[in-house]
Amino acid sequence: KELRRLRLQVHDEILGECPLEQAPEAGDELARVMVEQMSVVAPNIVHEAEPFLMERWTKGAETKRDANGRLCL
C-alpha cells in the first residue's frame, strides 16, 4: 500500500500516484484514511469516500471492482 505521491487536492478529491500493482490497495487505504480523519473533524456527519483508479484523470470517474471486490481500472 504505497502511495508514492499526492499529486493534487481539489475540494473533496485527492489524486495520488503509485505503482499500478499497488493501486487497488492504496486507493482503498486512502479512502479509509479520508473517512477516518473527517470523522475526527466533523464527528456528527456520516462520511464516505469512493476510491477509483485511472491512468489519466477524467471528470465523472466511477469506482470499479472485480469479482473479488478489488479496485480495478
C-alpha 21/C-alpha 2 separation (Å) is 10
Percent of the chain whose pLDDT exceeds 90: 60
Question: pTM to 2 decimals?
Answer: 0.83
pLDDT-derived band at 12, boundaries 50, 70, 90 = confident
C-alpha 34/C-alpha 14 separation (Å) is 9
